[in-house]
Amino acid sequence: MFRSRRSATLWGSVALMVCGGFVTSSASAATPAPSPAPPPASAGKAIKSPLLRSAMNNKCLDVYAFHQEDGASVLMWDCNGGPQQQWYWDGEQLRTSLNGKCLEIYAFRNDNGAAVNTWNCDGGINQRWYWDGQQIRSRMNGKCLDVMFSRDEVGAIVWMWDCTGGANQRWYQ
């Protein structure tokens, strides 16, 4: 009798786990999806951020692969209008609509070939920019935002270089 009670208890437990799993699964499927997160405070403004295009090849300045972290690479990509390609001016800061981070010269480098990426905005001189005709120049060193070696392909790196007026340094919105 003890053995049959133990067996019944074991089978009962198995049945509860199986049936409970089915109940839980069907209950989960019927549960509505959570509401999306509220938009950031800046989303209330009715300004759509423009694409920043190179006059050299009509490709767009793009935050690589939608990366959200500080130090995300910025490069050239076929324009698709996604938030990783939308940029807006906030005073002298150039921000991405992807996450509101600022375009910056990495590590305050002053030399030609200095990397450009996105970082949390802190108002640093390496995050301040201005238009000079069709060139986007840094307040830190006066150098121009430049498509490396005038490369035309998708994925071409963007960096800082002495201003030459070349098509690889001309931009439009």
pLDDT tens for the chain, 173 residues long, are: 444 433 443 334 333 333 333 333 333 333 333 333 333 333 333 344 599 999 999 999 999 999 999 999 999 999 999 999 999 999 999 999 999 999 999 999 999 999 999 999 999 999 999 999 999 999 999 999 999 999 999 999 999 999 999 999 999 99
- For 125, which DSSP code? G
CATH architecture of 49-172: Trefoil (2.80)
Of the candidates 94, 96, 169, the residue with the CA atom closest to the CA atom of residue 130: 94
Tokens of residue 58, six digits: 């009509």
Of the candidates 12, 18, 5, 116, the residue with the CA atom closest to the CA atom of residue 63: 116
**In angstroms, how far is CA 129 from the centroid of its own chain?**
19
Do residues 126 and 134 make contact, with C-beta atoms less than 8 angstroms apart? no
Tokens of residue 7, six digits: 């067996």
pTM recorded for the entire structure: 0.71
Domain ranges of the chain: 1-33, 49-172
